[in-house]
Each structure stands twice: as C-alpha cells, then as structure tokens.
Amino acid sequence: MRDNGSVSSPDLGRARRADFPFFSSHPDAVYLDSGATSQRPDAVIDAEVDFVRSDYAAVHRGSSVATGEATWAFESARERVAAFVGAGERELVWTAGATDALNMISLGISDASAGLGDDSLALSAGDEIVLTEAEHHANLIPWQRLAKRTGAVLRPVGVDADGLWSIDAMRAVVTPRTRLIAFPHVSNVTGQIAPVGDVVELARSVGALTVLDACQSVPHMPVDVSALGVDFAAFSAHKMLGPTGIGALYGRAELLDALPPARTGGSMITTVTLDEAEFLPAPNRFEAGTQPVSQAIGFGAAAAYLSALGMGAVRAHEERIAEALVEAASRTPGVRLVGPAAGHERAAIASVIVDGVHAHDVGQFLDDRGVTIRTGHHCAQPLHRALGVASTTRASASVYTDLDDVARFGEALGEVRDYFGVTA
C-alpha cells in the first residue's frame, strides 16, 4: 500500500525546486505544463544513469550474475510502482506509455472477440462501449477501433457547457448491453475528478468492465486501484516525474490472465512450435521483446520520490494551487474558466478561453513573459467541440509549483487582451 501520509511530509512548491535540475538551468521559469510532461528530480535521473553505468544487462535472459542483478532491479521497480498504486506485482504490466496500455486492452479484447483466447472478454455486435465526451484521444480512438472490429456500439456521455459530465448522465446512457465503461479519473482539460466509486458500482450492476485513464491522477493524489475497484487502469511515467517511453497497465489478475496479449514475440512465451505458442503468466506475457529496463528503474525511483513526499501532502498542496489558479482566472476580465467553478473540487489544472484572442497567441504572450503553459485541444477535440472552441490555454501544476508561479500566470493573463487591443 502506498504512503498517503501528510503530517511529516516536507514542504512542497519552491522548497522542492532544488531537487529538479531544470530549475537550476531556468531559475526564473514558471513551469505550468506538468499536465503535458513533468520535470524530473535528480533522484530519478541518477537512478536511471547509475543503472546504465554500473548494472546494465539484459533481463529475464540467461543465467549470468549480471543478468540476475539487472532482473532484480527491474522487478524491484515493478514492485515499487505496483505498491504505489495499490496493485499486486502480477497486476502491473510495463508498457510503452499509457496510450500503449489502453491500446493493449482494446487489442486484447478484439483478439478475444475473434476467438483468440478466453471468450469471457469477447464483444459481439450490438454490445455497448460507454465513454465520456471528455476523453483524451488515447482513451477514445482504441474503443472506436474496437467497436468497428466487433460491431459494438459506442455510447458517449455528454458534457455540459463547462465541459463536465455527471454520473446521472452516465446512468442515462448505460444499459444491460453495456460491456465496458472507459473514463478519465481526472480530465486533462477541465481538471474534473470523476466519481470513480459510483462508476464502478454502475458498471457492476450491468456486468461491465471499467477502464480508468489515471494519467492525471496517479501523480497528483492518493490512488489505490484495488480500493477503487476498477478492472483496468493506465498511467505514464513522464507525467509523474519519471522517464518518457514507459507507462503501466494495471489489470485485476484474473482479467490479465484472460486477456490475450496484443504484442507477441520473444520473452513472453513458455513454448513455441512452428504452429503454436504458449504464453507466460501475467505480467510477462504482455511484455514481448527487449524490455525498457533503465526506464523502469527511473519509473520506480519516481514512485519512491513521491512516496517520500506523501501523496496526501501532494494532494493538499495541489488543492491550494488549484484554488489559486481558479481565482486568478476568475478575477481576470474577458477570461472564461472551463471545468468546475470556484469552491468545487478539481485537480490543479485550469484551462481558459480569452475572449477575442486565440489560445496560441495567449500562449506565445505568456511564454514571452517566462510562463510555460499548454495551448491547443490537448488531445481532446470532442470536448473542445462541446465547449464551442477549437483550443484552450491550460495551466497545470506539480509538486514544484508554488503560489508565486500562479501569481505570475495571473498577472500575465491579465495583460493579454490589452496587448492585443481587445476592449469589448
């Protein structure tokens, strides 16, 4: 079980910046783009570099001392990341990223539907896949493809004028034909935090699986996938202070044992003939080919770093940042904040629309003033279409964000319309 303590955790925000070399190189930077990718602390960088320099070897191959030591480090990282999210070590699969993890679920169900493997996960024509209009494309397109392969029907849960969906709206969409519900734990645009327990209860009432996009939650709040009761979850290292090129797929053990592997090749088999292949138990059956060994070491170090801070403390810190972001946006004339209103729970993500100024121009203006944010549709075009805009300007925080960062963001945001001559 992960450490959710907050009483004895160290101060966050600017007090953490000495741990992150990015801020040594950019001491005046306001980095509010952690929702896209987070900065890495020395502890993560050093763990990966030290492994490559001193202990690098193939894992799960051969019987040498070097291979054994590398395999121990590799699997220890898996145990650390699994414990960080409340999963068993057999329930945590290394992937190329969260996008890859979600595709692995979709492709596995597709194979099961085609008669390859356990048919308990098979979909048939007329079965339903429910998802929200707030999905990141990574948790939308794989289900579009699965529906086309199997004849299943996609049933979206709509959002309101603020980009928010509700459990009541989901209840209106779910039917006895619903076989799978995919949804974001935290919206990467609005910062909305999903009522996961209610969704799981609804899914179980009709015998549907749940797939949780946890990319924007695992780095920022206590997440225990076993306690939440979801069937599958995906998250990535580079959004939680870790390396790029690696993510994690969580699946309940019995479901991973039933899910056909989407990637096949070496390292994931027990026996191969010219006609057939038998696969290892999970998680290794999903990890074909050469492993992302050093990345896994870095991923484990990121989990250890966050655990040492205490995820309860991280969430409390980011709640204060979220409140400040909402206040900064709400008090600025001509700026519309999307997502939960002031006083309502949200993650430390704030996306805004500046009247009369394109989001890309807003982003360039802020960047010229040393404030790094994200502009665009954030890989969530259906949500932006529902909001009636092509793009938004997004500020997103992490453990190294402080109130001074938010103040500089708010100050620069307040100057945008004047600079572009927008007076109406």
What is the predicted pLDDT for the residue at 60? 81
> Are 173 and 198 in a shared domain?
yes
> Are 273 and 135 in a shared domain?
yes
> Are 296 and 322 in a shared domain?
no
What is the predicted pLDDT for the residue at 416? 98
8 Å CB contact between 106 and 142:
yes
pLDDT in tens, 68-103: 888 899 999 999 999 999 999 899 999 999 999 999
* Number of other CB atoms surrounding residue 165 within 10 Å: 27
247 within a domain of the structure (yes/no): yes
Q: Which of 273, 288, 307 is the last residue of a domain?
A: 307
Residue ranges making up the domain that contains 408: 13-41+310-416
150 within a domain of the structure (yes/no): yes
Q: Which residues are catalytic?
A: 379
> Are 217 and 339 in a shared domain?
no
> Are 135 and 55 in a shared domain?
yes
What is the predicted pLDDT for the residue at 68? 82
108 within a domain of the structure (yes/no): yes
Q: Which of 307, 341, 363 is the last residue of a domain?
A: 307
What is the predicted pLDDT for the residue at 8? 35
- Does the structure show a pLDDT above 60 at 1? no
pLDDT in tens, 15-56: 999 999 999 999 999 999 999 999 999 999 999 999 999 998
pLDDT band at residue 4 under the 50/70/90 scheme:
very low
* Number of other CB atoms surrounding residue 266 within 10 Å: 11
Structural domain tally of the chain? 2
What is the predicted pLDDT for the residue at 404? 97
For residue 347, give the CATH number of its domain: 3.90.1150.10
403 within a domain of the structure (yes/no): yes
Pinpoint the alpha helices (H) of 140-242.
141-150, 167-173, 196-206, 225-228
For residues 172-186, average pLDDT: 98
The separation between CA 173 and the C-alpha centre of its own chain, rounded to angstroms, equals: 25
pLDDT in tens, 272-285: 999 999 999 999 99
Mean pLDDT across the chain, nearest whole number? 95
The pair phi, psi for residue 294, each rounded to 5°, is -65, -35
> Are 98 and 76 in a shared domain?
yes
165 within a domain of the structure (yes/no): yes
The separation between CA 392 and the C-alpha centre of its own chain, rounded to angstroms, equals: 20
Q: Which of 283, 307, 331 is the last residue of a domain?
A: 307
What is the predicted pLDDT for the residue at 412? 98
8 Å CB contact between 247 and 95:
yes
8 Å CB contact between 339 and 189:
yes
227 within a domain of the structure (yes/no): yes
pLDDT in tens, 126-155: 999 999 999 999 999 999 999 999 999 999
423 within a domain of the structure (yes/no): no
- Does the structure show a pLDDT above 90 at 407? yes
For residues 176-195, average pLDDT: 98
8 Å CB contact between 398 and 34:
yes
Report the interhelical angle of 293-309 vs 42-54 (nearest 10°): 150
Taking CA atoms, 22 is separated from 12, 40, 120, 350, in Å, by 16, 8, 48, 23
> Are 66 and 131 in a shared domain?
yes
Please state, in angstroms and rounded to a whole number, the distance separating the CA atoms of residues 373 and 172.
Answer: 36
Please state, in angstroms and rounded to a whole number, the distance separating the CA atoms of residues 34 and 397.
Answer: 6
What is the predicted pLDDT for the residue at 6? 37
- In the chain, what percentage of residues exceed pLDDT 70? 97
Taking CA atoms, 329 is separated from 324, 408, 418, in Å, by 9, 12, 16
For residues 303-330, average pLDDT: 98
- In the chain, what percentage of residues exceed pLDDT 90? 91
> Are 60 and 157 in a shared domain?
yes
> Are 233 and 296 in a shared domain?
yes
pLDDT band at residue 296 under the 50/70/90 scheme:
very high
51 within a domain of the structure (yes/no): yes
Please state, in angstroms and rounded to a whole number, the distance separating the CA atoms of residues 140 and 169.
Answer: 18
For residues 343-362, average pLDDT: 98
pLDDT band at residue 63 under the 50/70/90 scheme:
confident
What is the predicted pLDDT for the residue at 379? 98
8 Å CB contact between 136 and 152:
no
8 Å CB contact between 124 and 151:
yes
In sequence order, what DSSP letters do the residues of 117-153 get, joined into one string? S-GGG---TT-EEEEETT--GGGTHHHHHHHHHHT-E
For residue 135, give the CATH number of its domain: 3.40.640.10
What is the predicted pLDDT for the residue at 2? 43
The span from the first CA to the last CA of the chain, in angstroms, equals: 54
Please state, in angstroms and rounded to a whole number, the distance separating the CA atoms of residues 184 and 214.
Answer: 6
Structure tokens at 332: 């600025």
- This prediction has a pTM of 0.95
> Are 170 and 256 in a shared domain?
yes
Where is average pLDDT lowest: 88-92, 170-174, 194-198, 232-236? 88-92
What is the predicted pLDDT for the residue at 3? 45
Backbone CA torsion sign across 87, 400, 337, 355: negative
> Are 242 and 127 in a shared domain?
yes
> Are 285 and 373 in a shared domain?
no
